[in-house]
Structure 1
Amino acid sequence: MPLLRQFFSHRLIWLALLVSLGIGVLFARSVWTIRKDEWDYATQTNTNLAQTLERSLIWALDSYDRSLQGVAREAGNPETWAMPPDLRARVVFDNSLRMEGVGNVFVLDTKGDLILDSGSLEPRKANFADRDYFQAFESGTHTGLFVGKPVPSRIRGIYILPLSRAYQHPDGSFAGVVVGALRLSFFNEMFRSLDLGPNSGVNLFRSDGVIISRFPYGDADVGKTIAGTHNFLRFQREGSGSFVGRAALDSVERLYTYRKVGNYPLIVNVAQATQTILDKWYRSAWMLGGFALLLIGGCMALGLLFVRELTLRQSVSGQLKQAEHDLRTILNNLPSMIGYWDRQLHNRFANHAYVEWFGQAPGEMRGRHISHLLGPELYEKNRPYLEQALQGHAQLFERTITDPKGVARFAILSYIPDFDGDEVRGIFVQATDITERKRMEDALFDEKERMRLTLRAIGDAVVCTDAQGQVTYLNPVAQRLTGWQAFDAAGHNADEVVNLRSADNDALLDSPLRQAIQQACAVDAVRGIVVHRSSGARFQVEGSASPITDRHGAVTGAVAVLRDVTEAVAMAERMAHLAQYDTLTDLPNRLLLQDRAEVAMAQARREANLLAVMFLDLDGFKQVNDNLGHAVGDQLLVQFARRLQAAVRASDTVCRQGGDEFVVLLPGLDTPEAACGVARKILAACDTPFELAGRRVQVGISGGIALFPQHGDTFDDLSRHADDAMYAAKRGGRMRFMLYRGPGADPEPVLPESATA
């Protein structure tokens, strides 16, 4: 019984379903009938069109064939060839057909040469022995009219369809071929008046599948063959009829209506795209189908609407009660105070949180003015916000409320107007306890302040970024190095603010901050240069970076520490320089000279040339020190060092040995005379007096020269021999150079230019 009652209670749905089914069947039958009518009409129309085209083609071909038969008959008459050429042409071609699209008629001899031309009294030079029609008649395999393969004309170059017959000598032997041509434009003109719609047209094939004409697709496919395709096999097998198939050339589905053209080896085919045939039906079907669906949907919707209305009426009261219960349960369990006050600020609803905050139950508050709840003092503080809310402006503010236990609570309150059209009929009030959040904010602020003061006190530059590499903090040292103020750098890309460059080639270095964010691990210290934003000052820094992660391990930013090592690097470079250069003259010392000498001797061995070592000593240096002081003596050494450097090549090395002794290394010499030439330049450089403490002082030099490899194969040997030669120069009168000559031999003086000349 319950099932039966349920069936009858839903009878409207069953009725709607039956009506909808009847509408659907009726419309489906109508649509199918329309489709069948459209298809039958297209089939009959295409059949009539194919028959008309067949008769037109038969008439044209019969007419042309009779013309060719007349020409063949005259060409086979021996008397014709005895006539004068002009009379013979008139007699032979008197029977040729004159119509639009018909080409000239040619008479060929047994070799395929053109001997008579209907278009010219003097036959043009041409041979057609390679044509399929000539070969068929010559071999005797064909009689009667031969329909050739469409080819480009050798005379005019346009596509033609050759039609030919053989003619015979009186004894019946093969005498030649009479060939005429129908231009393919002849068929196109015949088919041009037909409009079968998109992707549709008329095709003319030879019975072996060779394409003669495809209208309106042009001549691109002329001469191709579709022999062996499914469609053409059916053309050949059935001769005439209609069927639906897909084209081998373009894969378009069409309705093919085809007929064999009389007794000729030709097939005419009307091919209309099924989409074109059914296009109008599709539109009608969609329109009718849409209307049917609309009616069906309307019936079903009405039935469902009635059933739904009945069902809703039975359950709406229960749902409303349940919804009210659920809403009160939710609001009473929220951690916030939720209330509603009408336009006169009388309570209409309050949740149980008011008991904890104000000690009043929702039932006690119903209908009371809000001032009874807040008290006079708190009401006066909140009244401006209440008035703004009643004027339609939402309010959000913070307030401190003391609960019945005397505990101060920090709360954030929102007053949301309840609009009835343009009029405010009440306000929703929500108060959320933010005491714990306030405590945490204060603690966080204190922690942040301690961190800020710590970072300000650090002597290194500190740069902080977020997870996207945007700067969030710069301490004062970082501001001094980069030239960016913290407020100006905030939000800028870290690569823009801290632009690290290589100290070697000034190339940009990878940002440690960016690497720390991407790799989620600390980046080892890297050294580079930071360029000040405004002044352009360059600071040598050593920086490292570490990612900042949250408690889940996700990267939220990065911090980089940059230590200014400019002075340390400068000091290291200065110490490295002092280790290899003389402090007073800034000339290479003996350690650097030793290294360069070893390199120069190795090069001299490879290139088989010479190098020279010169030892020099100032004559009278002690007297300058004694008479003018050590400071002036130092000036003399500096000036003498500059003159020495000016007298030698850039590739030579001038070294201060100590005191007033100097050593000169001359690599890459071709002859000993080259070293002597340098010695003369050094002597000439000392001819001019030195300006010392306002006085002109004449100082001489003595020097000795040793050559590699003649005078030694080590630098120590060369130094010792050059020193010996220098002391020989001092003993010999000073202001001269002596060239070492070997053990036991006296050094040889280096003569001035005038003496050598």
Structure 2
Amino acid sequence: MPLPRPTDAAPSAPRHSEPLPLDLTIAMACVIGLSVIWLMTLQRIAHERAQAIASAMEANANLAIAFEQQVHRTLKAAEQVASFVREQYLNHADTLDLRRWETQGVIRDAMFNVVSVVDERGDIVRSSRLPLRVNYADREFFTTQRDVVPDLAQDALHVSQPVLGRVTGRWQVPLSLGIWRKDGRFAGVVVLSVDPATFTDFHRQVNLGPGGLLELTGLDGTVRGRKIDEDRGFGMDASDLPWFQRRAKAPAGSFVNEDGPDGVSRIISYRTMADYPLMVTVGTPSTSELASTQQRRGAYLWLAGSVSAGLLLLTALLLLALSRQRVAARALEASEALFRATFHQAAMGIVHLSPEGHILLANDKFCGMLGYDMAELRERTIFELGDPDHQQEARFLLRKRLSSDSVAALPEVEKTYLRKDGSLLWVCEALGVVQDRQGEPERVVAVVQDITARKALEARLSHDAMHDVLTGLPNRLMFHDRLSQVLESARRRQGLAAVLFLDLDGFKEVNDTLGHAAGDELLRQVARRLEACVRAEDTVARIGGDEFGVVLATVAQSGDCEQVAAKILEALTQPFALATHEVQISASVGGALFPAHGEDMDSLLARADTGMYAAKREGKGRFCWRDLASDPAAIEATAPAKS
């Protein structure tokens, strides 16, 4: 009988699933175990690598901020010098002597190789170097400043591409500031030459390790300065570099660059400067930053391979994995310790703030600058450390930074702090915001640079440019400026003003017989006596040699001027006690009254000068309004007769 086909058979009873074979169960368990082990291993490797890269990016981003601030300070110092030279050139072009300024230390910054003033035709008309017949009309820094529309918003320092200097004969980066007259006409440029290596001297403050990269690049795509290890370069085209191309999408950022300009893979952080068309770049080799991670990666792979050899070693391998995890934790702690050490050894003050201004953390430099320890700082806000009169301004600046959508830091601000001992500290401060994962401000990082010495230098430069070095009195420039202001005020109120010229009688004999040191001391004593003879609103100036000038801001009548002159003559006839001798001199004084003797400065000065010489001809030791030979009725007041 033939066997029935399946379709002919009767329905059978339901059958239970048979258990899988033990070998298949073990194989599946092994596959599952291996899958879990390898998945965890690869995730751990990826996680640690991501952590190492993130830590390196954070460190490089902080270095990029510090590098940007150094370049910003360098350019700001250049802009201040150029602005000062421009102001002096516009107001006192005939007397501007940059070589003498450099010799006398008015221009003291060693980073400027040469400071020059170029007129509207491109010719050098003033320079801190020997006079050279050099024309800069074809230079990019000249044409750029010449073609710009004069506007306060565009009046900024121009950082040119590196060029071979025609004065120094060396490669330089020209820094220029345009000069415009009051009517808007272009009058030339002030140009300062800087060695390209100056911009990458930041490596002296930090150690980027072998293969470290520092670069300052213009937004025109030309490198102003690049340093890799000890190799320096400039003038290269950076338009094809990844960080230059990324800047077009984001003004600041960090990323891993697998193929650098020298073929080295680096972790790159770049920032676009806020005030200048420049960007800074900091890079550290990926191999050095990921060395410890690569070592742990090999260990993880070996561990996973050992686990794959048999599930019997599962417990031992798990214990080993826990051991490796402890090693990774210790490495992370070591990395955090390294960050803390770098944080506290930074060359500038760094402080972490809450969005409300409370101090969370400060490095040793910041504590030392203010004289507080960390415990004392945590009890204060950043506003309480500043000038009480400017606390609202500081709060506004913090709110403005927190509300800014830009990742680039706002321009640095110069402000004051009060040290613990009550003394004043001038700082240059920049604020950066750290955001959480939701994009909300988590903390504010303030980078603070002590500029107290620079502020003192600026005050000294301003004082020295307008005062006589020997006597401390205003010099001829300041005398003319004060007289111009007094005349303008007198015109507005339709009042009187006066100017006196006086020349010392007998000074030459003291100088010739007792020496120049005695003559200098006599001039200083004369200056003090003259100051005691006038009011606070009046001006006493040394015009030159033994000539002095006095501006009387307000005069009720001509007799007031005569009274001041008589007071001066009386004061100067009193004996002067010098180091080894007692001497007696007198003075010849001439005066001019506004508006009776003239309505402009030149006519008044000429009238006072004429009166002074008339007083000398009449026997010295007296005051004259004008030349007695032409006006017999001129008023004069003589001093007491000499002994």
Calculate the TM-score normalised by the size of structure 1: 0.41
| Greater RCO, 1 or 2 (C-alpha within 8 Å, sep 6+) | 2
Query: What's the TM-score, normalizing by structure 2?
Result: 0.47
Larger Rg: 1
